[in-house]
Amino acid sequence: MLQDFFEHTINKVYQNCRALVFFFIAPLPTFSSYIKFGGWEMSYNWKGVTKPSLERVGSIEIITKTVYLNHKYVLQLMGVNTGEVYSFPHLVRTIAHEIAHCLLLDYDSKYLYIDNPHNQWHQLLTNQLELYLWTLPEIQELAQLQEKPITVLF
C-alpha cells in the first residue's frame, strides 16, 4: 500500500509538471515515460536515486524510470528516529530531486551520465517541485500522520 502511495504521488507530480517543463525547456520531449517506484533501498551514498532503463519495440524507444528512496525514510515514517537527515521535509525534498531528474531525462537519455546532472535546470526544477509537493493532499496527509503518536499494541 505504501509502495502504491508513493508511486501514485511521484507520477501525479511528474505528469502535472511535464507540460510546464516542456514549455520552458523545449517544445517537445525526446522521450516520454512512466515512473516506477522501486521501493526502499539500503545505501550509505544516497537519499534517493533514479535508474532509467531503455526498452526497444522495433524503432520505438521506451524509457522507464525507477525511483528508489533510502530505507531510512520509511523507518522515519514508522516513527524510528533516523536523524534529521532523513526527516519528513528531507523526504519531500528528495522526492522533488528525483522527479527533477526524471523530467530532465525526457530530453536526454544520457542526462544522468553527464558531468553535472545537478546543474542549474535541475536545481530550479527541484526547488519548484518541492514547493508544489507541499501543496498536494497526499503530502499534507503524510505530514499530519507524522504529527500523531504511534501506539504499539502488544
User: Is there a domain that residue 98 lies in?
Assistant: yes
Does 8 map to a domain?
yes
Average pLDDT over residues 98-116: 82
| Residues 87, 89, 93, 99, Cα dihedral to 10° | 100
Which tens digits make up the pLDDT trace of 52-73? 888 888 988 778 899 999 999 9
Tens digits of per-residue pLDDT, 4-35? 999 999 999 998 888 777 666 666 666 667 79
- Contact between 41 and 5 under an 8 Å Cβ cutoff? The reply is no
> Full-prediction pTM beyond 0.85?
yes
Q: Is residue 153 part of a domain?
A: no
Given this model, what pLDDT does residue 30 score?
61
Q: How many domains does the chain have?
A: 1
Average pLDDT over the chain, rounded to an integer: 86
- In 7-151, which ranges are E strands? 35-41, 48-57, 60-70
Give the separation between CA 4 and CA 6, rounded to whole angstroms: 5
Domain that holds residue 108: 2-145
35: β partners: 65
Query: Does any domain span residue 87?
Result: yes
Residue 58 within a domain:
yes
- What confidence category does residue 132 fall into, taking pLDDT thresholds of 50, 70 and 90? very high
In a domain, 151, yes or no: no
